[in-house]
Chain A
């Protein structure tokens, strides 16, 4: 057992963090909000060059060929920058060998067959649909772009009906499992971005002639958020390592292992706690559109509904008890 990031994983994390902090900042997110329905194609190809979409696709299929645990590290970083666009779907499509996924030429969405709401519909090149253990490729239907999406960085269109598709894989269960965990990793990143933003503010903002971060009532909000996130991060990574170890030689991890749905529950809770703490610490300004805190919260709420809902994960965990 050695459950800390390896040197390679630390390098992957810091390289991506540096890239994203220079590339996807407040201004770039604000610009993305001005392109309703579209996806920032320049950003897409930059992300592809960083290996984001091909991270878990074998090298002979045009990917980077790293483990799924590495993918959770990557998507936590994407969450930390609240990177707009269907990056999780595109990454998972690459693992299915969908053309143009790993190299970023295509923007790819994945939804369940039971929905009429599709994220980023107008910006998609390819739409995949999962149902009954199958992944199907569908011709993207036309839809109506909804004027007020929950998350301004996640445009949503309503379609009349999902068209029938063409089967491309029977690995829907694997894709959903991995989609849940990458969503959870992204949520941990969103939560961390919120705690960082809140902490920075709490060190500067003065009231009663003191920085507010010195007040325990404020400090403890941020400490509690940090506790939830740190534990959730370990949970997401443990679930991912368990998947990798089961896939590599079938060797079960010793003792009780971290389940995907359980990891998703704690990551969702942690992200909500952290993003709301950030808003609370900022006071009035936290309730405005100006601060990015609302983007972190809203994206996390979107991710609560992708690849099955968090609500369904409660039932899934209960079914294991």
Chain B
């Protein structure tokens, strides 16, 4: 067991820090309106372009697809250093760089890789994800959006939901049902849907935070070329799942480091407001801080497992369950420290709006696999307990 960086890792970190110190002061200010998605898109894609030009885009992608081919440990250093330096987050480019792009890298044809991957890496194309449906949430494979073959096109009808950044995306990675007559996992196909296709209606959904981070998408006779199919017809479930096999344990690193900073911010606020004299606040923050440090250690374990075995096993589920539980208590302490200052958004020190974060954290145990589904994964895959259904 070693935690100290190798000389290559240390050199990677040094080079990155130097680049960040030189580049970050030249960035434009981030958009102020939390619901101005065009401005967010421009900002996030501008950052992606800088990463691309400096050779940091697609940090974990193989070099043959235009990525950096960094090791999981280097990716962890990248996420840690960019967070620490206050660099922008991946933002709108989340689906492209972390899901659709890697999927096309592995499952796409050479022509598809050539067509789609450079635009993701350069920050030209934003991608969104059309997986969930109103009737297909945790039970994703029960999705109902249909695609019927008509010559060299599919004609798609149905409804998608929770589609982040749909209003500003160029492409959508779309799961559709191409064979309703077989078992539900067996009749699904993975398509690339250009977002300027006729028949797509995007209706933003206002979240309980008060912004419209994601949308519903209604699809009426949307015609998608068969050439846009990634993988075989009816093999889409496997294609959609393939990226989970590359889970490197880095999915929530920025979140985790942000929470550590929130602890520091709250301690500073509590010390100046007198709340630090309250043993209850001190004890709660001590335990939360210890847990976040433990989760950081666990992240290093996951990343090391990924470097050895190619993936983290159920480590991603374990991290997520541990983290959201701590994060919820942290949000509660934040509200106690702010007291009546928390009656409006804007209670903050540094970057994060603590009130907004308190509300946002409710999504952590819902998005990307609910806590209940994650517990089933741990109980069934790791402990070997039988399924209920």
Chain A interface residues (CB < 8 Å from chain B): 1-6, 9, 69, 195, 199, 202-203, 211, 213-216, 219-220, 222-224, 226-228, 230-232, 234-235, 237-239, 241-242, 245, 251, 253-259, 261-263, 265-266, 269, 314-315, 317-318, 320-321
Contact = CB atoms under 8 A, between A and B. Distances in A.
A262 B294 contact: yes
Contact of A2 (B1, B291, B380): B1
Interface string B5-29: 1100110010000000000000000
Interface string B355-385: 0000000000000000010111011101111
27 contacts: A1-B2, A1-B4, A2-B307, A2-B308, A3-B303, A4-B1, A4-B301, A214-B387, A216-B376, A219-B380, A222-B383, A223-B321, A223-B375, A223-B378, A226-B383, A230-B315, A231-B291, A231-B298, A234-B301, A235-B297, A255-B80, A256-B296, A258-B297, A262-B290, A262-B293, A266-B290, A321-B286
B152 interface: no
Contacts of B319: 231
B193 interface: no
B297 A214 contact: no
A94 to B, nearest CB: 22
Size category of the binding interface on chain B: 35 or more
A226 B315 CA distance: 11
B294 A266 contact: yes
A318 B384 contact: no
Contacts of B388: 214-216, 219
A216 B388 CA distance: 7
Contact of A224 (B307, B321, B387): B321
Q: Indicate the member of A223, A265, A318 with the most B CB atoms within 10 Å.
A: A223
Contacts of A315: 282, 286
Given A237-B1, A254-B13, 17 more contacts: A1-B300, A4-B308, A6-B1, A203-B384, A211-B386, A214-B386, A216-B375, A220-B379, A222-B385, A224-B321, A231-B294, A231-B297, A235-B290, A238-B294, A259-B293, A262-B289, A266-B294
B379 A3 contact: no
A31 B330 CA distance: 46
B260 interface: yes
B29 to A, nearest CB: 28
Given A214-B387, A245-B4, A256 B260 contact: yes
Contacts of B305: 4
A221 B332 CA distance: 23
A219 B385 contact: yes
Contacts of B3: 1, 3, 238, 241-242, 245, 253-254, 257
A315 B290 CA distance: 12
- Chain A contact residues: over half helix, strand or loop, or mixed? helix
A188 to B, nearest CB: 11
Q: Which 4 A-B pairs have the closest CB atoms?
A: A262-B290, A235-B294, A238-B297, A219-B379
Contact of A314 (B286, B304, B322): B286
B6 A202 contact: no
Nearest to A239: B297
A261 to B, nearest CB: 7
Contacts of A2: 1-2, 304, 307-308
A5 B305 CA distance: 10
Contacts of A227: 318, 321-322, 378
B345 interface: no
Contacts of B308: 2, 4
Contacts of A265: 286-287, 290-291
Q: Indicate the member of B293, B294, B315, B374 with the most A CB atoms within 10 Å.
A: B294
Interface in B235-292: 260, 263-264, 267, 282-283, 285-287, 289-291
Q: Indicate the member of B260, B264, B382, B385 with the most A CB atoms within 10 Å.
A: B385
A226 B382 contact: yes
Nearest to A72: B1
B294 A234 contact: yes
